[in-house]
Structure 1
Amino acid sequence: MTEHGFFHHDIGYWQTNSAPGPEILASYPDGTVEVPLCPGQGWNWSGSEWIQSGPSHADVPTSVSRFQARAALHLAGLLDDAEAAVAAADRLTQLAWTDARDFRRDSPTIAALAIVLGLDDQAIDDLFRQAATITA
């Protein structure tokens, strides 16, 4: 498998585990471009290269538990929409949603849900920050 990176100015960065087919590429929003893989958390796409950002993203958790993620979505009024998006998604996304113990901020599942839910990077970061404060 070869990973591929993509970027959209309103949505941010996501990556796939293999080359997306024409049908998947056509579903990406206008303005999406293929980019080199992101070096890691705290890097921003400048339009031509990855630039390491300052410490502003340092407080965003790299992962949260499945419960914390779902609770944060519930509190934001997005859980029903997220579950509907997962139900319409590919099987791998459905398996990740139901079986993952933790959700990583940089995961393809999170990136795919962000697109469907219309959430930008800041909104996802805020949800991860909120989720990290929730305990069962």
Structure 2
Amino acid sequence: MKFLRFESEAAAREVFGLHFVDGAWPAYFATAAVDVVGLVMRPTGEMVDGVPVMAAVPGWHINLSERVPELEPYEVEAPATPDRVFAGSDDVAPPRVPARVTRRQARQALALAGLFAAVQPAIDAIPDPQQRQLAQIEWDDSQDFERERPLLIELGHAIGLDDAGIDALFIRAGGL
């Protein structure tokens, strides 16, 4: 678990800006699960009518399931006595593989993985001219890429990815 602190919610929103979906905080940033905590309250040690007086810890707080290099400047030490309790398990669910990602997300994920340049040669290597043309049209003109499309799976294998690698690429793309 990685703990992040920003000056304010606005500062956090600025850093996470490209990852918002319909104005909502993202569930994932790259492959890390995102838990937006917001304001953290701690007891001051004072009591009023038997109820502890609480005060806000400075900053806006977000927890991640793992380190994300772009967010390391905002990491803070783990709390000495973390007391946030979730109903049920504290296990982080594995990232969900998106059924589809946008063209931009797919191409950026391929570029970040160092695989973007391998796609065109894989298309060019398709022996059947009609299938090659259909693949080229799909690569050039698709607005979205669907995880279960047979052509996408074939191209993924052609550039060296197994099914788990394709899933990982889709998860990464979904976070962009």
TM category (shorter chain) comes to 0.5 to 0.7
Matches within 5 A, 1:1-136: 59-89=96-126, 90-134=132-176
Mapped partners of 1:122, 1:88: distance in 2: 23
* TM-score when normalising by structure 2: 0.42
Mapped partners of 1:58, 1:106: distance in 2: 17
The aligned length equals 79
Contact 2:153–2:166 (8 Å) recurs in 1: no
The residue identity in structure 1 corresponding to 2:107 is R
Q: Deviations for 1:86-134, whole angstroms, at most 9, x for unmatched residues? A: 2333110100000110000000221111221121111000000000111
Contact 2:100–2:147 (8 Å) recurs in 1: yes
Name the larger-Rg structure.
2
- Deviation of 1:83 (Å): 2.1
- Deviation of 1:58 (Å): 7.0
Q: Tell me, what secondary structure is at the counterpart of 1:103?
A: strand
Mapped partners of 2:152, 2:94: distance in 1: 17
From the two aligned structures, give the one with the greater strand fraction. Answer: 2
Q: Deviations for 1:2-34, whole angstroms, at most 9, x for unmatched residues? A: xxxxxxxxxxxxxxxxxxxxxxxxxxxxxxxxx
Q: Tell me, what secondary structure is at the counterpart of 2:140?
A: helix
> Unaligned 5+ residue runs, structure 1?
1-55
The residue identity in structure 2 corresponding to 1:105 is R
Mapped partners of 1:57, 1:109: distance in 2: 26
Q: CA RMSD in A?
A: 1.7
The residue identity in structure 2 corresponding to 1:86 is I
Identical positions, percent:
42
